């Protein structure tokens, strides 16, 4: 049966709170706008304060009653993530939606962050691991809270491999695509493990993976070119449908991966996590390594 869900189906979000990384542009910005338009209290994060504040003003022009704010945070800096999380915890009593939206797509050169981690792995996985851990007390305490992690198309997931002996690509010749896929699979292994953590804590919260398909965002246009890709790309307004449905549809369940029906375009549809991200021993080992690297332990 075709998915007939559309943006007008977003329920009243009054009383709910959301945090969106990379909410200053493209899909993150549009998602923040629509959630705020429906009454949610939304915090967007990015590393550039001028761009973040400008995004808040843009949203308020579109939706004058929007309750939206900006928090400066750099996913390449664990101290910055910790500072944002501590402030958010101090100022809020709930967190209904965390969208780990920001990311790097197929970075061409091997690069280490100031935390001495490979760039794609830190931004796409480790940074969001640290952020989720910092916000975990609110996520655990909020009924049916959702942790949504942006990813790549499911056909790529079985190509991912976490190399625990060379996590930073210091021994192997750097492969931009493989590094990117590995970082995305790490995100989903994290989501898979996080669901068991929520369950053990007696929480009703859930972790979900998703990818929006081909969308005319800056990141995709820089990394996935060609005339066919340009022809198939959806606008940002249409491309944010997966973000919004996964964030608000009551039918969404833990350990689902949502993407367009035809992977690159079409109505959003759920599927189970691939076998590559249901490896409990790998998920456990990655979780322990991520805690060690970030210094974040989930309460």
- Give the pLDDT score at 223: 47
Q: Output the pLDDT for position 210.
A: 92
First to last CA, the chain: 41
Alpha-carbon 266 to chain mean position: 20
Residue ranges of domains in the chain: 13-213+241-294
What Å distances lie between residue 238 and 28, 60, 217, 245, 273, CA to CA?
A: 13, 21, 12, 12, 24
In the annotation, is 180 catalytic?
yes
Determine contact, residues 119/236, Cβ cutoff 8 Å. no
Number of Cβ atoms within 10 Å of the Cβ of 160? 21
Instruction: Return the beta strands (E) in the chain as ranges.
Output: 17-21, 41-46, 67-72, 97-100, 146-150, 206-210, 256-260, 268-272
Q: What is the pLDDT of residue 263?
A: 59
CATH class of the domain comprising 13-213+241-294: alpha beta
CA 103-105-111 angle, 5° bins: 90
Q: List the beta strands (DSSP E) in 77-205.
A: 97-100, 146-150
C-alpha span between 23 and 163 (Å, rounded): 31
pLDDT tens-place values along the chain, 299 residues long: 456 788 899 999 999 999 999 999 888 999 999 999 999 999 999 999 999 999 999 999 999 999 999 999 999 999 999 999 999 999 999 999 999 999 999 999 999 999 999 999 999 999 999 999 999 999 999 999 999 999 987 778 888 899 999 999 999 999 999 999 999 999 999 999 999 999 999 999 999 999 887 654 455 444 455 433 444 444 546 677 889 999 999 999 999 999 887 656 678 889 888 887 888 999 999 999 999 999 999 97
Assess contact for 239 and 212: CB atoms under 8 A: yes
Of residues 180, 257, 258, 298, which has the active-site annotation? 180
């Amino acid at each position: 049966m075709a998915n007939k869900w559309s943006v007008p189906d977003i329920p009243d979000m009054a009383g709910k709170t959301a945090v969106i990384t990379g909410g200053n542009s493209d899909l993150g910005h549009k998602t923040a706008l629509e959630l705020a338009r429906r009454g949610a209290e939304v915090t967007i994060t990015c590393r550039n304060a001028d761009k973040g504040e400008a995004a808040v003003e843009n949203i308020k022009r579109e939706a004058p009653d929007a309750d939206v704010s900006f928090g400066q945070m750099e996913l390449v800096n664990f101290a910055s993530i910790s500072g944002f999380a501590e402030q958010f915890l101090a100022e809020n009593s709930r967190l209904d939606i965390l969208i780990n939206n920001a990311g790097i797509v197929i970075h061409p050169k091997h690069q280490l962050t100031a935390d001495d981690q490979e760039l794609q792995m830190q931004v796409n996985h480790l940074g969001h691991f640290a952020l989720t851990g910092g916000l975990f007390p609110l996520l655990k305490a909020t009924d049916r809270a959702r942790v949504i992690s942006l990813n790549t198309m499911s056909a790529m997931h079985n190509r991912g491999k976490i190399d625990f002996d060379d996590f930073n690509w210091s021994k192997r010749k750097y492969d931009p695509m493989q590094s990117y896929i590995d970082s995305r699979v790490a995100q989903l292994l994290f989501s898979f493990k996080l669901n068991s953590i929520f369950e053990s804590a007696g929480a009703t919260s859930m972790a979900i993976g998703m990818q929006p398909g081909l969308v005319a965002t800056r990141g995709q246009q820089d990394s996935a070119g060609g005339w066919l890709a340009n022809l198939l790309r959806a606008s940002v307004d249409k491309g944010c449908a997966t973000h919004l449905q996964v964030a608000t549809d009551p039918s969404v369940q833990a350990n689902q991966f949502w993407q367009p029906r035809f992977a690159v375009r079409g109505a959003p549809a759920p599927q189970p996590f691939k076998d590559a991200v249901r490896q409990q021993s790998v998920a456990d080992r990655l979780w322990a390594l991520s805690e060690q690297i970030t210094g974040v332990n989930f309460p």
